[in-house]
Amino acid sequence: MTSHTPLAKFIHWTFTLLYAYGIFKQVDELEELEDVSLLNFEIFFAIVFLVIVLLRYFYMKDVKTLLGAHDQMREGHLFIAKVTHRLVYFSLIMLPTTGLLIAGMLAADIPGMQAAIALHEFSAFLSYVLIAVHVFASFYSKLKGEGIWNAMTPFWKEKEKKAVSYT
């Protein structure tokens, strides 16, 4: 059975923790960013987040989608998986980018903040929806026993399918 590299798995799961941290520590009100130390931390966090997303994208972009599948996947299924993964990356790149845009506009007192905030909130919402779709599809694939789950997750492994013998 094929599987992702240990580095790919490490990046996937540590990034998952970084994303969760970002959700739970998010700024609730724009006025909170008047605290310069918080603003600097948010800028640093956004840059680190963006760099990790881009590194992950460039590391994974040539890896076969649905790696680990026991059987040949239908083209429609593969297309949906590829589009979903690309949209996840898009939303995860837009999140820190729009956050940095907000920080820059705030620091330079540039008008149009509401548009930047709306883009940031849309990016967050899109990431929530797409990650939920990704997680649902992962569990569905696991329940079907397709083998994809084992290629990326270090826990709750699927049982290996045994070859059918007709003797």
Is 50 exceeded by the pLDDT of residue 120? yes
The pLDDT > 90 percentage for the chain reads: 44
Task: Give the least confident one: 4-8, 21-25, 87-91, 112-116.
Answer: 4-8
Is 60 exceeded by the pLDDT of residue 118? yes
pLDDT tens, residue by residue, 128-144: 999 999 989 888 888 88
- Taking the chain, what is the end-to-end CA distance rounded to the nearest angstrom? 24
DSSP three-state, residue 41: helix
Of the pLDDT bands very low, low, confident and very high (cuts 50, 70, 90), residue 107 is confident
Q: Dump the DSSP string for 76-117.
A: HHHHHHHHHHHHHHHHHHHHHHHHHHHHHHHHHT-S-HHHHH
Q: Which pLDDT value is given to residue 127?
A: 96
Highest mean pLDDT among 14-18, 69-73, 99-103, 163-167: 99-103
